[in-house]
A and B are shown apart, each in its own frame.
Chain A
Amino acid sequence: MLLSLRSTRTRDLAGVVLAFGFVLATTLYVRAQTPAQPAPAAAAVTLINVSYDPTRELYRVINEAFAKDWQARAGQRVTIRTSHGGSGRQARSVIDGLDADVVTLALAGDIDAIARESRRLPDNWQSRLPNNASPYTSTIVFLVRKGNPKAIRDWDDLARPGVSVITPNPKTSGGARWNYLAAWAYELARTNGDQAAAKRLVEAIFRNVPVLDTGARGSTTTFVQRGLGDVLIAWENEAYLSLQEFGADKFDIVNPSVSILAEPPVSLVDQVVDRRGTRAVAQAYLEFLYTPAAQAIIARNFYRPVHPQHADQADIARFQPIKLVTIDQVFGGWAKAHADHFADGATFDQIYRPGAATR
């Protein structure tokens, strides 16, 4: 009796150890399955481009063109996988370990955050490619319902009572930060730098915002498909895409007098390309963005190319002249703009509290 009891106890113990061992072995096995060594240069290679929401259509075309180009130049087959999402969320995925070879995000602040938080690329990343590492720029415009029934011409019209404005949440969307700062820059330009007036205007605009989506695409859906709002503050390329997708008979684009020069930057993620042995092809991919072929694709997809002479002039003619100001000129760079406006308790948190008044 005693003996058998002891032996069952031993068996129990063995069971516990065995089960633990099983789980451990499974974990190790799964780890071993994840490839760690770089692919040999001649074989096909895969690049991961972590991008933001409204570049879906652009990179689909760019990737195809680059794959052809690289095959011709280096004799290597390259597949580029592109991941899209809110810019900040994408940056966080890279910080948390998503193996992006290149990042092509909505604002330099997000790539700065990757450099700062994860040390996966050097702090001076933005000086490694021409034009602040931005092969294309864009700006912020308005999309309104056909015929512009609320007669929206400029930023101050968005602050009028009775005008419903759709924009995503600047706390979760890179695009929305451009929207917010563009409105601010407009009022500064109009009032010769009156910060208090700019704050009042932006506050009035956000008082007219009935829905805060978490990303640019969500806001476009709300405006275009759900029929909410009189005006969508949108990326220029997103506005043109909406016209193309949903018909120019439903919407008009209104160009404000002043807007912001959005420079979506691109960079290698050094730690990843060195580990995966993809530095050469990733570098070529980014440099390809500045070539005449890519610049023409960029203009066709409604981004403003940095070398407009290479693009189809009919594409360039679509872009209306808008006075564009930069973050560096007006807000002292992204780090300062973020701290002043979007950090916890900063200006945006102070002005946007729609439910607080009724509480």
Chain B
Amino acid sequence: MTATALPAGAFQLRKPSALPGFGLTLGFTLTYLSLIVLIPLGVLIWRASGLGFEGIWHVASSPRVLAALQTSFVISFAAAALNAGFGLIVAWVLTRYSFPGRAVLDAIVDLPFALPTAVAGIALAALYAPNGWVGAWLDPLGIKVAYTPLGIFVALVFIGLPFVVRTVQPVLADLDREIEEASATLGANRRQTILRVILPPLLPSVLTGFALAFARAVGEYGSVIFIAGNMPFRSEIAPLLIVVQLEEFNYAGATAIATIMLAISFVALLAINLLQSFSRRRFGHV
């Protein structure tokens, strides 16, 4: 991917740059990333490795862990997908139109970032419980949200929304209106303009937002446990199983589940990244 500018066999430590300070900043970056990300993750894998591959496999293949992993990843994926669609619309409205209260609305988007997740969970549970404001309307229709997998979905949509909106917004702001006008002048109808002119350059940033929302949802604990009902095999998320293992003082078991989650997340994020770089190359004019 990067080999285009390099002579064969050369290992380029520094990229020529007009600005000084590469060494200092790279040094800082490496140390910082190691302390904050790599060493903690290394310790996690190191602790799990005490079980050996077979031990981890044993944990991973237990039906309850499988069910929890499936719940976590499938619902996270669905929530991130919904956010990708609706987040795009929210970003569109906030960037393209000016109306009274837009600044307030814009600020509200960030609230799920700032709210302690447990607070979000309690608020959502209160709202969607059978006697809550929303739940009381849905309950007679036979729709149960709180204490079902649907509740998990609601919580994950809530915490994931800002990721999509905030990644799409700046790209949307940079998008030239003239291109749309040009496409209209050349005889494209609205649908064609949206599908062929507006969406393609937005796709990479939507995918980024999707990936961020997905990653956050997979690891989410606080807001989910209050609304999920936590029933094994039905509405139990993988992070809760990790906490259960920790309560048992079973550190190896907990780290094993965590490692499995990490591996799946890594593969999923890698796939999204590849898709993203593909779409960037394919529609890469922004």
Contact = CB atoms under 8 A, between A and B. Distances in A.
A352 to B, nearest CB: 6
Contacts of A353: 64, 232-233
Contact of A171 (B13, B26, B32, B247): B247
B41 to A, nearest CB: 18
B40 interface: no
Contacts of A19: 24-25, 27-28, 31
B30 interface: yes
Interface in B52-89: 63-64, 67
A355 B231 contact: yes
Nearest to A168: B230
A355 B233 contact: yes
A327 to B, nearest CB: 18
B246 interface: yes
A218 B131 CA distance: 17
B226 interface: yes
8 contacts: A11-B23, A13-B23, A88-B247, A89-B247, A210-B229, A214-B240, A354-B232, A355-B234
B233 A117 contact: no
B225 interface: yes
A95 B253 CA distance: 17
A20 interface: yes
Given A89-B243, A172-B247, A354-B232, 16 more contacts: A11-B23, A12-B23, A12-B26, A12-B27, A15-B27, A16-B24, A19-B24, A212-B231, A213-B230, A218-B226, A226-B130, A226-B131, A228-B130, A352-B232, A355-B235, A356-B233
Given A171-B248, A353-B233, A18 B147 contact: no
Contacts of B230: 169, 211-214
A215 B255 CA distance: 22
A210 B230 CA distance: 9
Interface residues of A, number: 45
B249 A226 contact: no
Contact of A356 (B63, B235, B243): B63
Contacts of B35: 23
A92 B233 contact: no
Contacts of B249: 92, 95, 113, 117
Contact of A16 (B30, B32, B234): B30
Contacts of B231: 210-212, 354-355
A90 B246 CA distance: 11
Contacts of A225: 126
Contacts of B130: 226-228
Interface string A330-359: 000000000000111000010011111011
